[in-house]
Amino acid sequence: MDNRIRDLVIVGGGTAGWMTAAALADHFRGSGLAITLIESSAIGTIGVGEATIPTIRRFYQALGLRDLDVLKATHGTVKLGIRFDGWTGDGAGFLHPFGVYGQDLRGIPFHQYWLRLNKAGHATDLGDYSLAVALAQAGRFTLPSPNPPSTLSVFDWALHFDAGLFAQMMRQVAEQRGVRRIDARIEKVERRGEDGHITHLLLDDGRHIAGDLFVDCSGFQGLLIEGAMQAGYEDWSQWLLCDRALAAQGHALTPPPPFTRVTAQKAGWRWTIPLQHRTGHGYVYSSRHISDADAEAELLGAIGPDLKMAPRRIAFTPGRRSQAWKGNCVAIGLSSGFLEPLESTSIALIETGIEKLKQLFPRQGIDPYLVDEFNDWSRREMERVRDFIILHYWLNQRGEDFWRDCRAIDLPDTLRHKVELFRRRGHLVRYRWEMFQPASWLAIFAGFGFLPEESDPALEGADIAGLRRGLDGMRQAVAQAVADCPTHQEFIDHYARVEMPGGRQ
């Protein structure tokens, strides 16, 4: 029997659906794979998802799009990292940058030198050794050097963008590469008896759309992967207490900060995402610790007169689809699971979902080996992100009930292992399929003041005065590099300014 995959059907036209369509159409160009995307403009998309991590740039660059064009077309701004305000108590904050800290020497990581000096009584701020942190704090930006003279000049950047405009760009790429779009509501999913595979989708205009492989990008509901295939859901609310979000919009910030701000609130945290034409605001909270009405009042109080669009409430269950691929159905995007947007990881997980599908594409028919590998990879990757997010909550130093409950959770073993190795020896473990580099873990540990009991024993007899001179030199080099850069506003005005009708929005 010929089981060759010839017709691929993508269900959903949100960020996940159009990114999948664009990337697969590009990858399989000329191979005879027909791709159809079905979306319902009557249903619409989730309409949030504005902060990204640097992998998004590699994603669209692979499709032939250029940074400054995307920045402009999506009314975007630059993101150098995330600023955490109030997580260690009111009035305090730190930055998680897209970049590294200092310079490693003699095979010993930089942070061990920094720790050694700390222990010798010369405490400095880790952020002073990161160009990304220093640029963000100064509100400055320039494109990173393609040939950095030293690791002190190494940093990366991502975008804050209008997700709807980005999806439109992806749609354009997909349609140019031959993707067929159908605007209709799917009313029924037909499966065949012998193996339970999906055969057809019945649309509200009476059409039947057949396919060999279906990608479910239908959002939280998982129309195919759960509604038809019943793949199951692993609920992670014992570790991640937040289960609601309020998403609102405010007027543009002038000048726009080149970072996402996440501010601790009574029962969760609030995001501030600057775009050129508006600011995204939202409150992610635990419904067990605050009522919807109180959360809304807290959010509105924080936004004040800058409010432009009233909050919309979104309920969610943190967790993942037990099998992201079941039978001939693969889930990508919200249908595959959800982790709150604290570290802007959902779109990045869409990218890796697409990458996995490209690498494991079952052209000759559904193959259990490929399916198992996809599921194992997805599970580990999502668990790593989950652990990273849990760490932020677990290390908090706030007094409200919600925050105390976050400190009291029982850590997953994978995270406990990481925490203990860092606590004992400053060792940063990196697992396979890990989205966040050791520097990111260091940013969070150090940002919360969670420092190791000892530094590298090789530095026990170090010349402290010499070490101090070396680290002072690094800080000065970073400060000098920042002083020479334009402001973020100047950068946007020069390269990516979008004129809005009526000026400031």
Ligand X SMILES: Cc1cc2nc3c(=O)[nH]c(=O)nc-3n(C[C@H](O)[C@H](O)[C@H](O)COP(=O)(O)OP(=O)(O)OC[C@H]3O[C@@H](n4cnc5c(N)ncnc54)[C@H](O)[C@@H]3O)c2cc1C
Enumerate the active-site residues: 79
CB 186 to ligand X: min, Å? 4
- The number of residues in the chain equals 505
Nearer to ligand X, 223 or 295 (CB): 223
Given candidates 327, 341, 353, 447, which one binds ligand X under the rule CB under 6 A?
A: 341
Closest CB 69 distance from ligand X, rounded Å: 20
In the bound state with ligand X, the residue whose beta carbon lies nearer, of 220 and 433, is 220
Whole-number Å distance between alpha carbons of 473 and 117: 14
**Alpha carbon distances (Å) from 120 to 20, 74, 460:** 52, 48, 10
Q: Alpha helices, DSSP H only, in 139-278? A: 163-176
The residue within the footprint of ligand X, chosen from 22, 169, 347, 354 (CB under 6 A), is: 347
Q: How far apart are CA 29 and CA 80, in angstroms?
A: 34
The DSSP secondary structure of 426-458, one letter per residue, reads ------TT-SS-HHHHHHHHHHTT---SS--GG
- The binder of ligand X chosen from 71, 247, 371, 474 (CB under 6 A): 247
Q: Choose the binding region for ligand X from 105-113, 138-146, 215-223, 387-395 (rule: CB under 6 A).
A: 215-223
Comparing CA positions, the residue from 415, 413, 374 lying closest to residue 391 is 415
Is 346 one of the binding residues for ligand X (CB under 6 A)?
yes
- Contact set for ligand X, span 131-190 (CB under 6 A): 163, 185-186
- The tokens describing 125, both together, are 């701020």
The smaller minimum CB distance to ligand X, of residues 382 and 467, is found at 382
**Site pattern 14..53 for ligand X (x: CB under 6 A):** xxxx--------------------xxx--xxxx-xxxxx-
The answer to whether residue 71 forms part of the interface with ligand X (CB under 6 A) is no
* Closer of 98 and 422 to ligand X (Cβ): 98
Instruction: Report d(CA 92, CA 411) in Å as an integer.
Output: 25
Minimum distance, C-beta of residue 66 to ligand X, in the bound complex (Å): 21
β-bridge mates for residue 245, sequence order: 284, 314
CB atoms within 10 A of CB 30: 7
Interacting span for ligand X (CB under 6 A) from 12-20, 26-34, 59-67, 249-257? 12-20
Please report how close the Cβ of residue 259 comes to ligand X at its closest, in angstroms. 13
* Of the candidate residues 219, 222, 353, 452, the single one contacting ligand X (CB under 6 A): 219
Number of neighbouring beta carbons within 10 Å of residue 138: 15
Is the CB of residue 478 less than 8 Å from the CB of residue 126? Answer: no
Spatial separation of the C-alpha atoms in residues 248 and 280, rounded to whole Å:
6
Taking the complex as a whole, the smallest distance from the CB of residue 42 to ligand X amounts, in Å, to 8
Exactly one of 95, 132, 245, 354 binds ligand X (CB under 6 A); which one? 245
Note whether 378 binds ligand X by CB under 6 A.
no
Specify the stretch interacting with ligand X by CB under 6 A; choose among 113-121, 340-348, 371-379, 438-446: 340-348
Contacts with ligand X by CB under 6 A: the residue count is 37
Task: Tell me: does residue 223 bind ligand X (CB under 6 A).
Answer: yes
Query: Smallest gap, in angstroms, from Cβ of residue 203 to ligand X?
Result: 8
209 binds ligand X (CB under 6 A): no
Cis peptide before 255 (omega within 30 of 0): yes
- Residue 317 to residue 428: CA distance in whole angstroms: 30
Which residues, 6+ apart, have CB-to-CB distance to 158 below 8 Å?
Answer: 51, 52, 53, 54, 55, 56, 57, 78, 79, 98, 344
Among 5, 8, 9, 12, binds ligand X (CB under 6 A): 12
Among 21, 173, 217, 354, binds ligand X (CB under 6 A): 217
Q: How far is CA 352 from CA 318, 419, 431, 456, 459, in A?
A: 19, 26, 16, 35, 39
Give the C-alpha separation, 95 to 261, whole Å.
9
Closest residue by Cα to residue 37 from 332, 377, 362, 346: 332
Residue 361 contacts residue 262 (beta carbons within 8 Å): no
Decide: is 313 part of the binding site for ligand X (CB under 6 A). no
Least Å from the CB of residue 340 to ligand X: 7
Q: Which is nearer to ligand X, 223 or 391 (CB)?
A: 223
Considering the rule CB under 6 A, would residue 314 count as an interface residue with ligand X?
A: yes
Number of H helices, E strands in the chain: 14, 21
Part of the chain binding ligand X (CB under 6 A), chosen from 172-180, 330-338, 450-458, 461-469: 330-338
The encoded tokens of residue 498 equal: 């979008």
CB of 136 closer than 8 Å to CB of 257: yes
The distance of closest approach from Cβ of residue 305 to ligand X in the complex, given in angstroms and rounded to an integer, is 23
To which residue do tokens 């990337």 refer?
Answer: 23
Task: Specify the residue, 101 or 338, whose C-beta has the smaller distance to ligand X.
Answer: 338
Q: State in angstroms the smallest separation of the CB of 65 from ligand X.
A: 17
Q: Contact positions toward ligand X, by CB under 6 A?
A: 12-17, 38-40, 43-46, 48-52, 163, 185-186, 217-219, 223, 245, 247, 282, 314, 316, 333-335, 341, 344, 346-347
